[in-house]
A = this chain, B = another copy of it.
Amino acid sequence: MYKARIRVTLRKSILDPQGKAVEHALHNLNYGSVAQVRVGKYVELSIDEPDEASADKVAREACERLIANPVMEDFEIELEKQSESEVAQS
């Protein structure tokens, strides 16, 4: 069992109005030192595959086919092996 943590971000060249809105709001709250705010998605999922290579394949295909928009977004996957006790807890 693997835990995948996926960060989906808009590509650098794509304008991010939500990030701009957060940035302006933070400036209005007097956090003037904040800049370059970008807002993306964060997805966590458990993958029940026997080895890391197949878990990574599932996570990557899930991103390419469903979670991320390949035209506008990039994604990064972090995989972590979960012990049985962690699985039972969650």
Contact = CB atoms under 8 A, between A and B. Distances in A.
- Going nearest first, the 9 A-B pairs with the smallest beta carbon separation are A42-B42, A40-B42, A36-B46, A33-B48, A37-B45, A38-B44, A35-B46, A7-B42, A33-B49
How many identical chains are in the complex?
2
Contacts of A40: 41-44
A61 B45 CA distance: 28
Interface of A: 5, 7-9, 12, 19, 22-23, 25-26, 29, 31, 33-49, 55, 58, 61-62, 65-67, 90
A44 B7 CA distance: 11
Contacts of A12: 90
A56 to B, nearest CB: 12
Contacts of A66: 22, 25-26, 29
Contacts of A45: 22-23, 34-38
